Amino acid sequence: AQSVTQPDIHITVSEGASLELRCNYSYGATPYLFWYVQSPGQGLQLLLKYFSGDTLVQGIKGFEAEFKRSQSSFNLRKPSVHWSDAAEYFCAVGDPFTGGGNKLTFGTGTQLKVEL
Amino acid sequence: GAGVSQSPSNKVTEKGKDVELRCDPISGHTALYWYRQSLGQGLEFLIYFQGNSAPDKSGLPSDRFSAERTGGSVSTLTIQRTQQEDSAVYLCASSAVDEQFFGPGTRLTVL
């Protein structure tokens, strides 16, 4: 069964500092990979996704993520964090053999706090 | 355009009562998903509808949970004889191809 690990439950960064959120997955092949953000009281919003090809993917709001097969990782990065980035971030995997639009397995989330 | 909508936004019920949660997906999206978000379990897949195919019910935690999707559009998640451990936020998502768009969720509290 596939699984996703987000080792950091909480992260605090200063506004303007760089950010990296970690995500590791367990799967027999390369899954479809996603990062979602959830602001308080809001639904999940897709930041970016990786299916194949270039291992560095760009997303919305200035986020990017890099797929590293050797490390089974898909870490999310942002060069300069804004106070509005404070939210909870979820990494998710999907089964590529049933299509990208299938059920997702989520990590437990990382709560990001931004200090002004 | 309109996103995924869910109703009610909040539901408080007493243990043992039945509840129905509604999801209106984005028009034209053939796939619809239900997830549950709770403090102890994180985000869990519940059920998945794709077109006219039989739904994937593999995530439903017990036979008290059921869902239907009428006319390939609106979906209702029903929880019978609610228990306190059913308290959670129930999220609905829909997709056309590969990106799932999520609704704001229904917060269910079972007293």
Is there a contact between A21 and A34 (Cβ–Cβ < 8 Å)? no
pLDDT in tens, B27-72: 999 999 999 999 877 899 999 999 888 899 999 999 999 999 988 7
Contact yes or no for B42 and A109 at CB 8 A: yes
CATH of the domain at B11: 2.60.40.10
Q: With 70 as the cut, is the pLDDT of residue A99 above it?
A: no
pLDDT in tens, A22-81: 999 998 888 899 999 999 878 899 999 999 999 999 999 999 999 999 999 999 999 999
- How far is it, in rounded angstroms, from Cα B58 to Cα A13? 39
Report A:29-48 residues touching B (Cβ under 8 A): 32, 36, 41-46
In chain B, the number of structural domains is 1
A98 CB near a chain B CB, below 8 Å?
Answer: no
- Structural domains of chain A in order of their starting residue, each with its CATH number: 3-115 (2.60.40.10)
- Chain B's closest residue to A9, CA to CA, is B42
Q: Is residue B109 part of a domain?
A: no
Is there a contact between B67 and B56 (Cβ–Cβ < 8 Å)? no
For chains A and B, count residue pairs whose Cβ atoms are closer than 8 Å: 55
Tell me, what's the pLDDT at A85? 96
Contact yes or no for A44 and B93 at CB 8 A: yes
pLDDT in tens, A77-86: 999 999 999 9
In whole angstroms, what separates CA B35 from the centre of its chain?
Answer: 6
B40 CB near a chain A CB, below 8 Å?
Answer: no
Instruction: Please state, for a pLDDT cut of 70, what percent of chain A lies above it.
Output: 97
Q: Is residue B106 part of a domain?
A: no
Tell me, what's the pLDDT at B41? 76
Report the mean per-residue pLDDT for chain B: 93
